[in-house]
Amino acid sequence: MTRPFNFSPGPAMVPEPVLCRAQSEMLDWHGTGTSVMEMSHRGNAFTSIARQAEADLRELLAIPDNYKVLFLQGGATGQFAAVPMNLLGDRGHADYLNTGMWSKKAIKEARLYGEVNVVASSETQNFTTVPPRESWQCSPDAAYLHYCPNETIGGLEIHQPPQSDAPLVADMSSTILSRPIDVSRFGVIYAGAQKNMGIAGLTVVIVRDDLLGRALPTTPTFLNWQVQADNDSMINTPSAYAWYIAGLVFQWIKELGGLEVMAERNAQKARMLYEIIDNSNFYHNPIEPAYRSWMNIPFTLADAALDATFLQEAEALGLLNLKGHRSVGGMRASLYNAMPLEGVTALIDFMNDFARRHG
């Protein structure tokens, strides 16, 4: 029986081979007689899982040796506070780009710990575009420049990292592992796992060595990157099972051919869905084409009164969680790595049929 296609923005689809592998290892991981859920996080078995996961992630992203990789808890939301706590230092102020809901949340949190300079904002354009780089008003001595490469809610994506004299900090929760990136362009990358890396409960932080050891004196030990790095992300019990699942996802991506293959797959899926939207008078996507997301594609119907019918019929066909965020409305299809081409094809077939019957 074919499983439904889950278009949820997160927690999102997990690759079926990963689910099957986890199922087969649920009661007994590699002859240990215990589930990963039951292991001591300091025992040899879980230590080997953790080390392999880090090694595989480093290989996939070609992470340079002068970066630490942390496997933490608290979600990207926790890092909204951890970033300023760890990086503001004596400068006390940082630059932020505002391109959507998650940017706004990061800005709000950072203002609790220091001065925030919003270098540019597209809020007056309903976050449908990105202000030109030459218009950004950056501070000459900012501690860092923060941005969100992919805004999950609005479906806006900045496809190339911006040039910055200050260390570049990126919330990559919804775009990490979707394509190759040059990690050396960034001071810090952080990402919740529940979209492209696995299940909720795990947050990955990739931080350049020279940015460690700067935490404010009031920084909780739990959020201090230097302390976490010194203790292999285990100052307390980590999200062990989520860490394990992430490791299986890393192995799955490697088996498929790595991030170049992921990029080709994701670009194709997005291109197919945008094409049906653009060639229809029934569907509409509001984002400026240059900034359209590969991962999250919002669209509206010509008649909003048909939204409930669209969702009901889609669910009956096994096309799940297509409702758009309440702040945007309409529909949203999230096409993370685990979404197969067949799922996008099934959605397109349904959209064509629905538009024919109701257009």
| Radius of gyration from C-alpha coordinates of the chain | 21
Q: How far apart are CA 181 and CA 179, in angstroms?
A: 7
Catalytic residue among 68, 104, 195, 269: 195
Q: How far apart are CA 26 and CA 321, in angstroms?
A: 27
* Phi (first) and psi of residue 50, to 5 degrees: -65, -45
- First vs last Cα of the chain: how many Å apart? 32
Q: Are 352 and 317 in contact (CB under 8 A)?
A: no
Residue 102 annotated among the catalytic residues of the structure: yes
Catalytic residue among 68, 95, 171, 243: 171
Write down the number of H helices and E strands in the chain. Answer: 9, 14
User: 184-187: long-range contacts (C-beta < 8 A, 24 or more apart)?
Assistant: 184/64, 185/161, 186/161, 187/87, 187/144, 187/211
Q: How far apart are CA 64 and CA 145, in angstroms?
A: 21
Residue 90 annotated among the catalytic residues of the structure: no
Residue 105 annotated among the catalytic residues of the structure: no
Catalytic residue among 29, 95, 102, 243: 102
The pair of structure tokens assigned to 29 is 């991981």
Per DSSP, the residues of 42-76 read TSHHHHHHHHHHHHHHHHHHT--TTEEEEEESSHH
> Catalytic residue numbers?
102, 171, 195
